[in-house]
Structure 1
Amino acid sequence: MYLQGQAQLRYDPCDLGVLYFDKVTDILWKGTVNLGLYPYLNDAQIEINFKDPLIFYGFSQQSKMIVNNRWREYILVPKGKLPTRYHFYFSINSTVAVEKPTVTKFTLNNVLLCGEHIKKNSTPTDSRQPGNFQCGRRSLNHSELVTVRADAKAGDWPWHVAVLIRDLQNSSIAMYQCGGNIVSRTAVLTAGHCLFTGNKTVPTNRLIIQAGTSNLWDLKEIGRQILTVERVVIHPSYVLEQATSDLAILFVNTLVFTEYVQPICVWGPLYDKRILYGQQAVVAGFGLTEQNVMSDRLRSSYTIVQPDKVCVATAPTLYSSLLNEFTFCAGDGNSGTSPLNGDSGGGLAVAVTHIDDRISWFLRGILSKCVIPQGKKLCDPKYFVVYTDVAPHYGWIHHHIAG
């Protein structure tokens, strides 16, 4: 992952989709209430209690504010038509360094959405019992505070795995190959091209899955699970030069779901990709860094899904041949971040807010192709990357992982 620029810190109390905080500067925070999740709401009373006192600087629109408990408890009432997203700005008023503006209570129109009791009862299970987990959910220890455009912590993206290949001469040695995504207790979804070296398929007995890790070579890292691959299914329509069906499923026996290892939800079966255009998503990987060396640390970044025409305009011949109803492109071209060689097989994850107001992460794309300029061997981070859309292949994926 090519990363340049300042790391981005986001705090999601109770892993909610309706309330989140972004660090703007060393002292300034931007709070956001996503009122667009409630299209039939005519007015809003927002109550937020904080552990530490704040210094308030303003709102995105005229509002009534009631303050209690020495600048720790706030009631905010936007005036006029409700915005899709309501913003407010503040700093933490503390004599000691505080990492984040910890929320102890959050209600919207007197409905409690976040509190200490909710946090204590929102941890994932490590049980092997089927159905005793939810896909796309992270432990609150890892989901409330996440840094992107930086090294990730184990548990931040618990569905991301490393795919390694055993050395031919010494099976105790393995080299990193690609990323992958946990989609069930026994299945990992990756890119089809990750299972080839040159024009030859990698033998199944040489493949290893490393899950629950943020550091490839720290063998003592808590949460790490290492499994051998027992069976491989490559999409029957896979073609090396195309991204249309660049998919493969690796079967293992058996992942234990913990706070460090969890499955991601798979988007589908509906797959109109136009609803993704302009959406923010997250990508992660162990691929090349901006120094053109492989990273031993998992890195993550935000990216933006782009309309096909935006990508085609930058490299008409290349993107016209790769983009169709089964693929899409992503990147923003300005942040100095982009997946590179070695990030293939990793997923593009989209946050979806469910009826309980918490976030579930859905796998929408598998990284397939990048732009390698003529005469070069490495991906160019200035260009957009192309993903295989998993949604059109939802039936194929579930047919195999359910069997």
Structure 2
Amino acid sequence: METLYLFLSLWVLQVHSMALTGPVLTRYRPCELGVIHFDKITDLLWRGEIDLEYYHELVDVEIEIGFEKQISLRGVSHNSTVVIKNKSRDFIFKPKGVHKKYFIFITTNGNTTHEVPIVSKFRLNEMELCNDYVKASQSIDSLNVTKPNDRDYRHYCGRRALDHGELTSMRTDSKSGDWPWHVAILIRTPNTNLANYQCGGNIISSTAILTAGHCMFLEGKLVETKRVIIEAGISNLRHMNESGRQNLLAERVILHPGYSTEHATSDLAIVVVNKLRYSEYVQPICIWGPVYDKTTLFGKRAVVTGFGTTEQNVLSDTLRSTDTLIQNDTVCIAHVPKLYSKLLNEFTFCAGFGPSSDINPRNGDSGGGLVIPTMQPDHIVSWFLRGILSKCGILPGEKFCDPKLYVVYTDVAPHYGWIYHHAGLRYINNIQS
């Protein structure tokens, strides 16, 4: 991978990628709904968050949640009235007043600390949003929405098989299919069958991978297209027999015309392949745009994934993921003015938990995506690609990205037109060709 040094006062900036550190975060999202999810707080305690931000029309709220097994209610927000039914399997919550978010705290009654409070039913007022029928309909086959007379293949983007969508573990090893749009980009050594891991990338269509522009360079020179290899559907770089693995050779590399080694503004490239087969392990991510407002990102949680170096500073064979926090530019600039003031503008943004945290990308996965779960009209989450990992900060005398510094991403939204033009996409709402 090309290494770029920018000497900014005493700070050194390198083109590197990421590692993922911190305690495991287990999140359960029933039916992949955007309105409710549960986070594991301790071995037995789960916190449920009900987000009504998208339901502005509600005047009164009644929330019904049914669980497969008996659970114990430990607390509820907003002085809600609670009705318990069916031997502590069904709960009706009637909050006082209408608020954007509600919280419930529950414990499982099983004998294992790994037991998940599986939801069998979720009803918001008169809308039953999750049940066994909804779950059964969320199959991989259902993502193919091609109609008999369609000339083009049409497919939902940003969605996963329910087995991988409902339950997600972050800050730990991922399973194949957890992040089915993430690929590994390898560079083959000339005149050999050997290839080295280079960067991460993101499936945006059956023939296009979006990555960072600098990932296509070695020692300052653009890599020959025939040396670029895409490995999709994998969670481990070493396991050659993973059932979802697809290996493809690049047919063309399209470098963004505004690419610059010094800035993150247009640090983008599209690798064209022929062609990916969508499966449980290989799915496309949605692209954010064309309308966007960068300021609406500030304070949002997002997810980043990659095969980057671990906290021991060794390259991970296994795909890992972590949550991150998108920051206001002013936060990052105030932290290291001479570093971030040169990198942040209307085409870039920064993310991370700041100097008090060790949960952040580090070396190993430039080109990986920052993705945001977004609720759609059918109440289910679709994942949208908003940023491409471009640059991280490194302390003087060090060679690894410092997890206490913020990471800079190229914002894909301003480049929506360029991406679509070169990726062969035709979108209708959340449907992709």
TM bracket, shorter-chain basis? over 0.9
Compared with structure 1, are the counterparts of its residues 65 and 47 closer, same or farther at alpha carbon in structure 2 (3 Å cutoff)?
same
Cα deviation per residue 1:305-347 (whole Å; 9 max; x = unaligned)?
1011100111111111110100000001244211122210000
Question: How many residue pairs get matched?
Answer: 401
Q: Which residue of 1 aligns with 2:219?
A: 198
Q: Which residue of 2 aligns with 1:87?
A: 103
1:124, distance to aligned residue in structure 2 (A) = 1.9
- Aligned partners of 2:50, 2:227: CA distance in 1, in Å? 48
Counterpart residue type for residue 112 of structure 1: E
Of residues 86, 111, 114, the one that matches 2:127 is: 111
Counterpart residue type for residue 370 of structure 2: L
Cα deviation per residue 1:163-195 (whole Å; 9 max; x = unaligned)?
00011241x211100000000000000000000
Q: Which residue of 2 aligns with 1:5?
A: 22
Q: Which residue of 2 aligns with 1:120?
A: 136
- Aligned partners of 1:49, 1:61: CA distance in 2, in Å? 20
Is this contact kept in 1: 2:144–2:156, CA < 8 A? no
Counterpart residue type for residue 94 of structure 2: V
Q: Which residue of 2 aligns with 1:239?
A: 260
Cα deviation per residue 1:229-252 (whole Å; 9 max; x = unaligned)?
000100011011110000000000
Is this contact kept in 1: 2:48–2:103, CA < 8 A? yes
- Aligned partners of 1:288, 1:128: CA distance in 2, in Å? 38
Of residues 166, 180, 187, the one that matches 1:165 is: 187
Counterpart residue type for residue 388 of structure 2: I
Q: Which residue of 2 aligns with 1:331?
A: 352
1:77 aligns with 2:94: yes
- Aligned partners of 2:300, 2:401: CA distance in 1, in Å? 23
1:366 aligns with 2:350: no
1:2, distance to aligned residue in structure 2 (A) = 3.1
Is this contact kept in 1: 2:291–2:413, CA < 8 A? yes
Deviates more, 1:53-62 or 1:182-191: 53-62
Q: Which runs of 5+ in 1 are unaligned?
A: none
Compared with structure 1, are the counterparts of its residues 143 and 335 closer, same or farther at alpha carbon in structure 2 (3 Å cutoff)?
farther
Of residues 393, 396, 401, the one that matches 2:418 is: 396
Is this contact kept in 1: 2:357–2:404, CA < 8 A? no
Compared with structure 1, are the counterparts of its residues 356 and 317 closer, same or farther at alpha carbon in structure 2 (3 Å cutoff)?
same
What SS does the corresponding residue of 2:422 show, helix, strand or coil? helix
- Aligned partners of 2:111, 2:313: CA distance in 1, in Å? 42
Deviates more, 1:366-375 or 1:89-98: 89-98
1:176 aligns with 2:192: no
Structure 1 segments of 4 or more deviating over 6 A?
none
- Aligned partners of 1:314, 1:66: CA distance in 2, in Å? 49
Counterpart residue type for residue 223 of structure 2: V
1:378, distance to aligned residue in structure 2 (A) = 2.1
- Aligned partners of 1:2, 1:231: CA distance in 2, in Å? 29
1:199, distance to aligned residue in structure 2 (A) = 1.0
Counterpart residue type for residue 27 of structure 2: R
Is this contact kept in 2: 1:212–1:223, CA < 8 A? yes
Deviates more, 1:183-192 or 1:38-47: 38-47
Is this contact kept in 1: 2:183–2:200, CA < 8 A? yes
Q: Which residue of 2 aligns with 1:143?
A: 165
Cα deviation per residue 1:239-270 (whole Å; 9 max; x = unaligned)?
11110000000000000011110000000112
Percent of aligned pairs with the same amino acid: 54
1:357 aligns with 2:353: no
Q: Which runs of 5+ in 2 are unaligned?
A: 1-17, 147-151, 426-433
Cα deviation per residue 1:62-97 (whole Å; 9 max; x = unaligned)?
111111111001111111x22211001110112455
Deviates more, 1:268-277 or 1:369-378: 369-378
Is this contact kept in 2: 1:266–1:362, CA < 8 A? yes
Is this contact kept in 2: 1:9–1:23, CA < 8 A? yes
Is this contact kept in 2: 1:288–1:341, CA < 8 A? yes
Structure possessing the higher relative contact order (Cα contacts under 8 Å, 6 or more residues apart): 2
Q: Which residue of 1 aligns with 2:52?
A: 35
Is this contact kept in 1: 2:349–2:408, CA < 8 A? yes
